[in-house]
Structure 1
Amino acid sequence: MSSEEPSRSPPSVGALTSVFHVYRVERDDDEIRYIGEPLIPAGDLSKEVAPLFAQRGYDVSVTRRHGDGSPAPYALVAEPESPGIDGIPWGNLVMFVLTVATTLYAGTMWYYIDIAGDPLNLLRAWPFTAAVLGVLATHELGHYVMSRYHGVDASLPYFIPVPPPIGTMGAVIRMRGQIPSRKALFDIGVAGPLAGLAATMAVTVIGLHLDPIAVPEQAIQAAEGGASIRFNDPLLLTLLADLVGQPTGYGEGLAVNPVVFGGWVGMFVTFLNLIPVGQLDGGHILRATLGPRQETVAAAVPGVLFAMAGGLYFLTEYTQSTILWGIWGVLALVMVRAGSATPLREDSLGVGRLAIAALTFALGALCFMPIPIEIVLA
């Protein structure tokens, strides 16, 4: 493709003639849309044109047009690159710093650190923060790396700060444009859970080898006189503890090292992300493996979650878990209505990727906890 035009102007129609037949060009503020049809497989188009647009300071995505009666089924959507002010992704950095602060504060609760006398004691909770954010960052960077590999525009992770007991709701990346193929959709979807689980298992094993935390007497007395929160262990955590010969529970006055809780967070986040519906990682994997038939499976997911919530309500006293799975049932219902990602090319995955899909869902099942959290009354 030719690259004669000025370096900061969008590519001309002539520069695209070898790979994309342009019917017309539309402009909307800074966004430029080249309407036409590809002359090469649509799934390869983004990779082919991305370098040309990047040379001129533009991000480009490929979108498929539906139902407008146009003979042009595709559009190349170009927007000026916006990495942040002065080239720095300030939004990502601000969210990350806030999340570091909230997880440090949450960590002081698990380490029983008093920050009233010296706020700098907050920094003593850094192992908890490193464990939680390390797991979440590895998960999202798995998505990011595979998105870039397949030529899909993706942002750096945005971390979400919340109050204790965890200090974060996780992290997300933003992807623009359409996924080029089912293989790309699968690779992007599965990379996060597998990378995150590798980090989760490493963090858990490290935490199990660290010394337990001494619980202050006043904390024990407060628990005996009121309510306390108990985080139940998923099967994967129990298996790892048995494998390395370390306990997950201690006698009165001792608690497992908070780094282990970082692994617990990773396992819980992994299971939720692998729920096979909508834009969740599990939804991407399911769509890639089953194609359009995944809608039948996804439609049953909200019913399963509602049934689990109902069973817990009628058969147990764990109201908080009933509410948790009821909320996720509603979220799943919304995601079913919104639909899943639709790749540009419906290629088959092959036996290797199908085996990886089965392994990933099996590992996700080991992270499942019907009752993740209990509120224990004295």
Structure 2
Amino acid sequence: MITSSLLIPALLVLSSLGFLGWGFLQARKAGRVGILAWLQAVVLFLPWVGFFGLFWLGIQINFGILLVILLATTGAYIWLGRLLREAAGEQEKRLRERYRAELEARRQRGEAGGDGHGEAMPPPIAEMQAEALAIPEEDRQKLQSLFGIDTFFATETLPFRQGVLYRGNLRGDPDIVFQALNERLQALFADRYQLFLLNDESGKPTVLVLPSDRDPFQARKLPIAISIVLMVLSFAAVYLLVTPSSVNAFSPEGVSTALPIAVGVLFTLFAHEAAHRWQAKRYGVRLSSAFLLPLLTPIPVPPAGFAIYPGTFGSLTRLDSPPPSRRALFDIAFAGPAVGGLVSLGFLLVGLALSGVANQAGPLTVRPADLNVLVGIFVRLLLGPVTDSQFVNLHPLSIVGIFGLQITALSLLPAGQLDGGRIVQAVYGRRTARITGIVTLVLLGIIGIFVPWYLYWAVIVLLFARTPERPTLNEITETDSRRDALAILALFAMAAILLPLTPQIALRLGLGG
């Protein structure tokens, strides 16, 4: 029978294997290219799933064997990447040859119209439902000149969300095609319209042109006053949570204990948010104000020691303008957890170096069983073995680090418009991001049965960030191998931070018994 301590890792391992199985079914539709891409994910993902599964069960793997596995999977990943590039090149070549043959056949039959340059034109835009569009007739006629045999061969034109949707065939590298179409659009209309290169429901390339002032993907803006109120509430929640229960929160002792921790947590959040904005500015993307989410539900405090709950779930930030590509979306989403996580890790390591082991509970002490996997490993390395009857006497800096890492891990949950959801969308696409978001919400609900604040977080995600992020301007071009590997690393870091220690792992680490 699976106990509650094994339910979470069992669900994670099963969901990971199910995700790989679903990925295989989707990859088969793309032929050899899809299978090779799926195999890349398997060799990068599956060994870590097995490693964490065995680690959670308390089964120790020899370091030499682990090193061999890592080297083998890295080599296999590079080799499969070479085969994937070759297969994709061959497929692209065959598609271009087929498109040229189809166009030549049309010309010979006299079915292809022209514009003086021998290029087939899409059906007249005037035949669309004009009342559904916010684009004048004159501009719609000019839009016909965007397309050609060397970029995107439009075969069907439809109204879509007050704009124009073109279906057709992509004639070259998506990056080059998007750049060419966008440059032509800018030359004709300056910044009056935005152009999206997307895949439709069946996976075929489409071009969407929308008025810049009528963005259907942009969410309703919230007053900045709400952001300020939430920041104050989050600061107060952290402050009150870390104040020792035996002292007044606003006494000199309470202030000296709680204020540095609350300020430190806000600093990690500031570093997280600043990294987002640094990358957003690099790509010319506008971001909304950050909305901090305080943990307002009552948290049960253990009879002795300190409750490790951050008092805030971090912040939500919306994209007010579309990223130019999926790579840009990845960089914007990944930068926050990367910088915030590194800053928090620095606080943790310095704080643990100043911490110690105590034989009785104090205002800032925790039991080894209250730690997560990642923090438990660092406690063992820096403080040595800790028995069940002992406590870890945490320095305030280490508490800042623990809280910062927990907030970082929560932001990496692969759901909706969280950083993790955006990373999944950038690497695997909107359809996969939508599925992983549903799975994440279900898992949060199940885990919430045992850890109530996860259920609260599930409600927050469901209300404010359940849908995938808006599409990028160039949705077809995928991310590269480096970003794919960083995405996997981020997801495993999230798991290592959020998963608590089981008794088996605690004993292996020397944190119990």
SS in 1 for 2:483: helix
Q: Deviations over 1:79-130 (max 9, x none)?
A: 9xxxxx9xxx7765565455444433333227x54346x4695255332123
Instruction: Kindly provide the amino acid, as one letter, of the partner of residue 292 in structure 2.
Output: F
Identify the match of residue 287 of structure 2 among 154, 157, 167: 154
Show the 5 A alignment for 1:41-190.
Answer: 41=179, 73-77=209-213, 95-97=230-232, 99-109=234-244, 113-115=247-249, 118=251, 122-161=255-294, 166-190=310-334
**Residues 159 and 168 of structure 1 are in contact (CA less than 8 Å); yes or no, is this contact kept in structure 2?**
yes
Distance of aligned partners of 1:279 and 1:197 in 2 relative to their CA distance in 1, 3 Å threshold: same
Q: Quick one: distance in 1 between partners of 2:441 and 2:235?
A: 34
**Residues 357 and 383 of structure 2 are in contact (CA less than 8 Å); yes or no, is this contact kept in structure 1?**
no
SS in 1 for 2:342: helix
Instruction: Kindly provide the amino acid, as one letter, of the partner of residue 248 in structure 2.
Output: D
Distance of aligned partners of 1:265 and 1:152 in 2 relative to their CA distance in 1, 3 Å threshold: same
Q: Quick one: distance in 1 between partners of 2:257 and 2:181?
A: 49
Show the 5 A alignment for 1:244-259.
Answer: 244-245=382-383, 255-259=393-397
SS in 2 for 1:278: coil
Residue 477 (structure 2) aligns with: 347
Q: Quick one: distance in 2 between partners of 1:349 and 1:217?
A: 49
SS in 2 for 1:186: helix
Distance of aligned partners of 1:40 and 1:181 in 2 relative to their CA distance in 1, 3 Å threshold: closer
Q: Quick one: distance in 2 between partners of 1:266 and 1:211?
A: 17
- % identity of equivalent residues: 24
Q: Quick one: distance in 2 between partners of 1:305 and 1:167?
A: 18
Distance of aligned partners of 1:134 and 1:62 in 2 relative to their CA distance in 1, 3 Å threshold: farther
The offset of 1:219, in angstroms, is 7.7
Identify the match of residue 398 of structure 2 among 255, 260, 267: 260
Instruction: Kindly provide the amino acid, as one letter, of the partner of residue 185 in structure 1.
Output: L
SS in 2 for 1:171: strand
Identify the match of residue 193 of structure 1 among 329, 337, 345: 337
Q: Quick one: distance in 2 between partners of 1:76 and 1:369?
A: 44
**Residues 299 and 336 of structure 1 are in contact (CA less than 8 Å); yes or no, is this contact kept in structure 2?**
no
Higher strand share: 1
Instruction: Kindly provide the amino acid, as one letter, of the partner of residue 241 in structure 2.
Output: A
Instruction: Kindly provide the amino acid, as one letter, of the partner of residue 439 in structure 2.
Output: A
The offset of 1:288, in angstroms, is 1.0
SS in 2 for 1:268: helix
Show the 5 A alignment for 1:305-344.
Answer: 305-308=444-447, 320-321=450-451, 323-326=452-455, 338-344=467-473
Q: Deviations over 1:143-196 (max 9, x none)?
A: 221122111101453434555864434223332122221111111111122112
Distance of aligned partners of 1:214 and 1:105 in 2 relative to their CA distance in 1, 3 Å threshold: farther
Instruction: Kindly provide the amino acid, as one letter, of the partner of residue 108 in structure 1.
Output: T
Residue 416 (structure 2) aligns with: 278
Instruction: Kindly provide the amino acid, as one letter, of the partner of residue 196 in structure 1.
Output: G
Show the 5 A alignment for 1:282-301.
Answer: 282-294=420-432, 295-301=434-440
1:232 aligns with 2:370: yes
Q: Quick one: distance in 1 between partners of 2:388 and 2:352?
A: 12
Instruction: Kindly provide the amino acid, as one letter, of the partner of residue 265 in structure 1.
Output: F
Across the two proteins, how many residue pairs are aligned to each other?
A: 308
Residue 133 (structure 2) aligns with: none
Q: Quick one: distance in 2 between partners of 1:189 and 1:236?
A: 22
Q: Quick one: distance in 2 between partners of 1:61 and 1:244?
A: 57
Residue 492 (structure 2) aligns with: 362
Q: Deviations over 1:233-277 (max 9, x none)?
A: 111112222343467789668732243222222232233222212
Distance of aligned partners of 1:61 and 1:298 in 2 relative to their CA distance in 1, 3 Å threshold: farther
Distance of aligned partners of 1:105 and 1:308 in 2 relative to their CA distance in 1, 3 Å threshold: closer
Distance of aligned partners of 1:72 and 1:256 in 2 relative to their CA distance in 1, 3 Å threshold: closer
Q: Quick one: distance in 2 between partners of 1:213 and 1:127?
A: 22
**Deviating more after overlay: 169-178 vs 147-156:** 169-178
Q: Quick one: distance in 2 between partners of 1:42 and 1:199?
A: 41
**Residues 107 and 258 of structure 1 are in contact (CA less than 8 Å); yes or no, is this contact kept in structure 2?**
no
**Residues 232 and 369 of structure 1 are in contact (CA less than 8 Å); yes or no, is this contact kept in structure 2?**
no
TM-score (norm 1): 0.62
Instruction: Kindly provide the amino acid, as one letter, of the partner of residue 210 in structure 1.
Output: L
Instruction: Kindly provide the amino acid, as one letter, of the partner of residue 276 in structure 1.
Output: P
Distance of aligned partners of 1:249 and 1:144 in 2 relative to their CA distance in 1, 3 Å threshold: farther
CA RMSD of the aligned region, Å? Answer: 5.0
Residue 210 (structure 1) aligns with: 354
**Residues 352 and 383 of structure 2 are in contact (CA less than 8 Å); yes or no, is this contact kept in structure 1?**
no
Could you list the runs of 5+ residues in structure 1 that have no partner in the other structure?
A: 1-16, 22-33, 54-59, 80-84, 221-227, 310-318, 373-378
Q: Deviations over 1:192-247 (max 9, x none)?
A: 22112101211111221234599999989xxxxxxx99982111112222343467
